[in-house]
Amino acid sequence: MEDYAEVWSNEEDTKERLLLCTERLQSMITEQTVPEEYREFFSAQARKMLRIFDYVKDVKEGSFFTLTEAVCKARFDELYSEVVPEHYEESFSNPAYTVKKYGKKYGRLLTYIAAKLNAQIFYAAEGNLLFTVMAAELLIELYNYFEEYHEYTFKECREALYSFETDNAELFLAWRAEEQFNPNHTFVKDIIMEAEKTDLRYLYRYGEYITENEMGIAAYLRSLPEAKINAMAENVVGGYLRGFQVMRVPLSKGQTVGLRYAVGFERVMKAVILLLEQEGLNVTAVRTPVNGRHARKSGYTVTNVNIQYDYDHRNDEGLLADKQWYVRKETAAHRVYEAKKEMLSLYAGPLVLETFGERLPLPKNRAEAVVLDKRQQRLKVESTGRMGALAERYIPSEQTSFTIVAYPLPSIGEKFGDIFNETMRLNQLDNEVYRKVQQCIIDALDRARAVRVTGRGENRTDITVQLWELNNPEKETIFENCTADVNIPAGEVFTSPVLKGTDGVLHVTSVFLDGTEYKNLEISFKDGKTTAYSCENYVEKEENEKFIKENLLKNHEWLPLGEFAIGTNTIAYTMGKRFGIADVLPILIAEKTGPHFAIGDTCYSHSEDHKVYNPDGKEIVARTNECAELRHTEPEKAYFHCHTDITIPYDELGEITALCEDGKEIVIIKEGRFVLAGTELLNEALE
């Protein structure tokens, strides 16, 4: 299926299919040809698809956005009626409700279908009539099987779903690639560039469920003077360009920058686009994939309307997935990448504007939700590795860079305006000040063979991290001097530890990772690899271990310690304390507020052979570890395709001490204060 454009553009055929589907869906609402207990489900799903059909037709005709804001909201409330919390408990999109109604076997099947149909709202917003029609045809096919209900109906439906997902994988992936890498796909860019021409109704063009957060941040940014908006844009674009300079990677005109941002920040993103275009760069933007929205975002985002819904459906593929499932998905991706390799070769990397301020509830582990069994977990981990290697082949990491910056949302509280202004100041701190102070820390660490980190008070951390040995200290260094380029704000020095001899316990009383709080998170390491882990989120020990394995270890049996860093941004730390928002600071900021440890790949994943230098001209030699070294001989074992930072805040920190080979100890931080000569400036904010 190489001529994707021809398939997508065959409007007449699609419209004819739409008409046929519409007639069939309307009849499904009233007729009584399926067993009585299933009529309510199919009637509800048929109504839902008809609403989506109305939406996509209105979008294509342009009539939807002539409606008032109140009517737009009412339409979206109806479109998302199965998902929003107030209706979710008795919704067919809720596996607990559907399994209770139909039993585990059919309940999981039907709730899978309901969630699949919900996703068509996004395609409808993009004017993708074909994909919405295909989903409706799938629903009708399944309905037909239930009309002839017998002992094999479940098998027939499962096979239909399996074929739908695998036979169309290439078509779906090709559409995603167009959105992600083709600057001529301007659905999102058009929204950004035209946002200021209208009122806040433009937010509904995304097809996402719009909350007070999106409305609030868009209205707030409209109230700011142009100078502030431009300063925000210049800050993040400047960081993006500096990232390429630091990495010594050429950034040529005509390359494509992938924008990732929160809906509501269109005014800032417009200024970003204009600055990038002045540099001769193109832009793309894409929505975050439907599956996995409870975890890390990889596109434009909105406030999570119902984290329980996302969490309940995070493993839906487990209903269908087997070895062939993953093979067919990988084959489809390979064909798409090969067909679009010229476009992929121009991708320069993402420019990311994150947000913080949401306090998400801890999702329940519902027994009714689909889970991956151990075999599926292994197959998925292996497939993720192969897909990562495939992406690396067409978009080499050593040819790309990135930058990330974060701002608060109105949900952070009544002091939102003050917090926003303080965050702006934080993001624009003087790089040179931090470069000089951090160099003092690096000079001390370059004399060490290991670093010991201990906690204080209730913090039980006691871990020794082994460091690289320098062959030529005059020209080499172990730690990167990180100012505000790829990670804004400034404020950390980091390295890739030597795994052998890296032993001990990492503990933090509370930490937010991907929006979820982990209480009393504790991870043990032996030779740099995780050996045990626990937290106190749930009552049962096994449930906590399962939660960590799935969400932090990404279903790997173990992960290496990929990064050790010392955060130096005491201003960020005091901001969190002063406003009482330390618990919701994103890891981007939180990692600068104490030492942090990352489990997973190193910061130089897939770019270990690319030389990197500090501002003083020294080469950073600690770019790999014993796992990453396998990239030359056993590449399937070299990478884990995840990287999660865990920070110990200063008030839980006992001591950070550099351990030298001659037995000398150099204390860098003691009782939460910097004591190394040349770093005293950092204590001013703490006082």
Listed in order, the ranges of the chain carrying CATH 3.40.1830 are 179-406
Average pLDDT over residues 564-590: 92
Confidence at residue 1, expressed as pLDDT on a 0 to 100 scale: 45
5-9, 471-475, 594-598, 612-616, range with the lowest pLDDT: 5-9
What whole-number distance in Å separates Cα of residue 354 and Cα of residue 349?
16
DSSP characters over 116-182 = HHHTHHHHHHTT-HHHHHHHHHHHHHHHHHHHT-STTHHHHHHHHHHHHHHHTHHHHHHHHHHHHH-
Q: Which residues contact 71 (CB under 8 A, 6 or more apart)?
A: none
Confidence at residue 7, expressed as pLDDT on a 0 to 100 scale: 57
What whole-number distance in Å separates Cα of residue 237 and Cα of residue 101?
52
Question: How large a percentage of the chain has pLDDT more than 70?
Answer: 98
DSSP characters over 456-489 = -TT---EEEEE-PPPS-TTTEESSEEE-TTTBSS
pLDDT for 296 beyond 60: no
Retrieve residue 106's tokens.
């059919």
Residue in the block written with tokens 């909350």: 211
Confidence at residue 3, expressed as pLDDT on a 0 to 100 scale: 56
Residue in the block written with tokens 């070299």: 638
- Choices 3.20.20, 3.30.200, 3.40.1830, 3.30.70: CATH for 179-406: 3.40.1830
Confidence at residue 583, expressed as pLDDT on a 0 to 100 scale: 83
Least Cα distance to 513 among 564, 587, 582 occurs for: 587
Query: Is the separation of the CB atoms in 629 and 601 below 8 Å?
Result: no
Least Cα distance to 135 among 25, 299, 4, 286 occurs for: 25
**The sheet that has 480-482: what strands, in order across it?**
480-482, 492-495, 561-567, 595-600, 643-647
pTM of the model: 0.91
pLDDT for 4 beyond 80: no
Confidence at residue 292, expressed as pLDDT on a 0 to 100 scale: 55
What whole-number distance in Å separates Cα of residue 408 and Cα of residue 584?
9
**The sheet that has 653-660: what strands, in order across it?**
529-534, 516-526, 498-513, 462-466, 448-455, 653-660, 665-670, 673-674
pLDDT for 470 beyond 90: yes
- Chain mean pLDDT for the chain: 93
DSSP state, residue 61: H
Confidence at residue 627, expressed as pLDDT on a 0 to 100 scale: 95
Least Cα distance to 98 among 86, 82, 85 occurs for: 82
Confidence of residue 65 (pLDDT cuts 50, 70, 90): confident
Confidence of residue 445 (pLDDT cuts 50, 70, 90): very high
Amino acid at residue number 155 = K
291-295, 333-337, 551-555, 584-588, range with the lowest pLDDT: 291-295
Confidence of residue 6 (pLDDT cuts 50, 70, 90): low
Question: How large a percentage of the chain has pLDDT more than 90?
Answer: 83
pLDDT for 8 beyond 60: no
Calculate the alpha carbon distances from 350 to 239, 255, 259, 260, 557 in Å: 12, 12, 6, 7, 30
Amino acid at residue number 582 = A
Among positive and negative, which fits the CA dihedral 581, 583, 585, 591?
positive
Task: Using DSSP, state whether 615 is helix, strand or coil.
Answer: coil
Least Cα distance to 117 among 172, 163, 176, 52 occurs for: 52
